[in-house]
Structure 1
Amino acid sequence: MSSLPILGAAMPLSSYEVHKDLMLEKQRDLELQDFVKGEVLNGDWQPLAEHAKKLLDGHKGRLGIHGPFWGFTIDAMDPEIREIVKKRLLQGLSVCEAIGGTHMVVHSPYSTWDFNNLDNNDKGRERKIEACHLTLHEAVKRAEDIGCELVLENIEDKDPYARIELAESFGSDAVKISIDTGHAHYAHGSTGAPPVDYFIKAAGNRLRHIHLQDADGYADRHWTLGEGTINWHSVFKELGRLNSDPRLIVELRDVSGLPASIANLEAMGLAQ
């Protein structure tokens, strides 16, 4: 990575219209949030995709989507539920293909309970990975075919390495690692996980995507960068060691904080 990397952002199309000049001035990477809900994916989403393509005319940064995640996990054991999850992931990839998206965020299946219990059962880790393969194998093949990366984002993950083991088990360049700084900071502050920079160090050059949000180590705040207690210098020190060129996606609860987030990190000499 360069010494002063360019920040991208996650937002719905309605917010892109507001922040279009900011996103285009440095051709920032973009992650669209309009396609996470089953109601959208089950409906006629093609007009929305066409609107996205027209609105994004002139945008040359990397483009992707946050994939569907509400109400399910990718290690679903019930075969009927698994079919719904498979359908949602394939629907998300169809959106990526339609808009030219090259990444889709997929939520990690690892919970705090897993950290304490996977090794309490014979082959617990192997069974969890097997369940994820049953769900994801078609999506991985589809992602390979359309040139899209499925990036596995930490949610409750206390162990930075379990998700990496899962990603590598597919043996595919289409399955990579994502880190959410606020989720990692929550896990560090509330469940005893390592700090955020340790998550980055664990991922190494398998890291292709990062959600940048500030938090307090207690909850999933998605605050403006600089408003919480994350040590951004340690985060960007580890990012600076990588050559995998991860997308640096600012993901805020209130997208109006995007300009301030960029300005705050620029004032720290960390990003632009």
Structure 2
Amino acid sequence: MTDLPLLGAAMTVAELETLQDFILSRDRDLELQDFCIPGALDADWRPTAERARALLAGYQGRLGIHGPFWGLHIASADAEIRAVVSRRLMQGLEVCDYLGATQMVIHSPYITWDYNNLDNFAGRSAYRSVIDLTHQTLAEAVKRAEGIGVTMVIENIMDKDPDIRRTLAESFSSAAVAVSVDTGHAQYAHGSTGAPPVDYFIRRAGDTLHHVHLQDADGHADRHWAIGEGNIHWPAVFRALGELTSNPRLILELRDKSGILPSAAWLEARGLAC
């Protein structure tokens, strides 16, 4: 036995066919990514979900999905857009309910522009506006998520401020909304926009952190490289994770899924995770 944190992974159902043993052997956390592909929720997604159920027979790990996100801004000032985003998120939660998934990743409303401009107004009206618009978008989804035991985790995309999504998540006062940190996105923000390093994003999220996308990167782009291929300082990241009591899902989210097993081996060899 080991006290090292247990790694999970993100993949499609087709990729699960070849990585089934990795997931099932230790009931690792799994994030299915079929349902965020554009058009997936407009087609019949149930055969894909049924295949996932078959592959996961006997599975006792924590199952989640990546929710729809392409073109979906959760703090749009346009009511028509908010209605579309709300409908898509409700579709994602329908998938969660069907699969028995307990987590759905959604994307942050904050962009790099916000860091320099949210204070460019009297008082804190701009900060409040983003929170209020997000509440309007997510109101129905939060109620639904609470009813089916799903937590929507808000992932950093262009976020430069490591605190801002925690503040947003806490504003809901709901177990259905928490924080996600994507290590590669944080590294991009650190290297290209002057954000703090990745371990600061982890530490500042605190116990609102329920989900982590683990990917390596170079600070220039969203690489989704295997762990060890970029320049993220992984010992600092795992030290910060070790301070938490929220037990976040540690999801290897790599562009090339053949890097999942080597990434797990790389982290285990360094005594960081297994």
Within-5 A mapping of 1:155-234: 155-234=157-236
The C-alpha deviation readout for 1:138-169, integer Å capped at 9, x for no partner, is 11111000000000000000001111111011
**TM-score scaled to structure 2, two decimals?**
0.97
RMSD, aligned CA: 1.0
Paired position in structure 1 for 2:13: 13
Amino acid at match of 1:211: H
Rounded Cα–Cα distance in structure 1 between residues aligned with 2:107 and 2:250: 17
Amino acid of the residue matched to residue 220 of structure 1? Answer: D
In structure 2, the partner of 1:24 is 24
Report the TM-score, using the length of structure 1 for normalisation: 0.98
Question: Structure 1: where are the runs of 5+ without partners?
Answer: none
SS at 2:142's partner residue? helix
In the TM superposition, what is the alpha-carbon distance from 1:37 to its structure 2 partner? Answer: 2.9
Q: Deviations over 1:232-254 (max 9, x none)?
A: 00000011111111000000000
Structure 1 ranges of 4+ moved more than 2 A:
none
Query: Number of paired residues?
Result: 271
Identity of aligned residues (%): 61
What is the identity, as a one-letter code, of the residue corresponding to 1:118? L
Question: In the TM superposition, what whole-angstrom CA distance separates every residue of 1:71-99 from its partner, at most 9, and x where no partner exists?
Answer: 12100111111111000000000000000
SS state at 1:39 partner: coil
Runs of at least 5 residues in structure 2 that lack an aligned partner in the other structure: none
Matching residue's letter, 1:263: A
1:64 CA displacement:
0.4
Distance across 1 between alignment mates of 2:172 and 2:182: 22
Residues 24 and 56 of structure 2 are in contact (CA less than 8 Å); yes or no, is this contact kept in structure 1?
no
For 1:242-261, what aligned pairs fall within 5 Å after superposition?
242-261=244-263
C-alpha displacement of 1:55: 1.6
Question: Does the alignment pair 1:124 with 2:126?
Answer: yes
Q: What is the aligned partner in structure 1 of residue 99 from structure 2?
A: 99
Q: Shift in Å at residue 61 of structure 1?
A: 1.0
